[in-house]
Structure 1
Amino acid sequence: MARYGFRRSMLHGLLFMAGFGVTACVGAAEFSAAKVVTLKNGLNSLSLGGQKMAIIMADRPNGNAHGFTVTSFYATSDGWTIMPVFRDSKQGQDEQFNVKRGGGADCVLFDFRLLTMDGKVKLILAKRDFGQSFADDAAVHFDVYRLESGHEDDVGRPPSYFEFERSIAARKAYCDVGEAFRQELGLGDYLEQANP
């Protein structure tokens, strides 16, 4: 009887691990058709999902290795409006007017990817737990948002905004969220590289 219990618990452990692997593969498979939108520091004028947009990226240096980059999204139709990022939480509704990329000299601890896939626009924010230092491997979490536009009857919302869909936990720890984006979701960098 004890032998059967051991086999059963071993089988449960293997099934749990197999399920964990499938969940991780689903993340990369889900975004396999996605195209990462390339951006540069400064003004980016583009049209995504039928929406004319301006995306402004600007550095915020602070004299050490912990400066960061701030990115804000704007839509135009009858004038420019900011495109906030909305997330409901236990404390109420959280509204962000920008997203950030930053960390330390060794690793990027928070970043984003703007995607087009199947005619839709998604924004994914990644954040790494701090751990013991900037250079540690630690848990990474991805928050997925979708672009919403044209809901005039949606009181309290602007004409275009990013609405929270769900969170995805990385299956392993990382130092740099860029590496987590590549390994977990199959998404490369968005920064336009200068030509040599």
Structure 2
Amino acid sequence: LQRIVIPASEIENYFVHMALIGTHTLVVFVVLVRTLSRDGAHLLQLRVDDPGATTTTWDRGNARASSEGGAESKGPVDTLVRLLEVDHIYRRPKLSIRSLADELALPEYRLRKLIHEELGFRNFNTFLHHYRLREACGMLSDPSQARTPILTIALTVGYQSINTFNRAFREIVGETPSTFRARSLGGPDG
């Protein structure tokens, strides 16, 4: 063991240094906890209420937009929801935040803010995965599409490769598309 000796003239610097490190650690911890708790309320979670059911429930946290549209118009939110729910714009393989912002005639920063604050998604990619995977789950659990290749489903909902689709599906749904399909359709794996 080695003994650390701090000269008396530097003891004040030592305590200042330790206080700064402690404060920095505390700030990082608080920011991390706030970020996780805020994002935790909005994390995209897929729950399959009944493994044999063809519908899935998606929890978007505090999302305030609805495809039904109420008496109040929210302007860009209503337009965005229409583009997603009616026009299925998310199926475009090269859809980007910029192209979607252009479609809505909004600056990118406003669209990012709308996606995060109004719809409750952490970011554009989470938002896009939500819509694509919601449709993919519906197709995978539809008995009439039981023989449709998973690659075809991935391409139909807007993914450009099976690898990207599989990775997003596993991360968000918690299982592979083939396992999800088998379980949903009551196959040998489900």
- Larger helix fraction of residues: 2
- Larger strand fraction of residues: 1
TM-score by length of 1: 0.31
TM-score by length of 2: 0.32
Task: Tell me which structure has the larger Cα radius of gyration.
Answer: 2
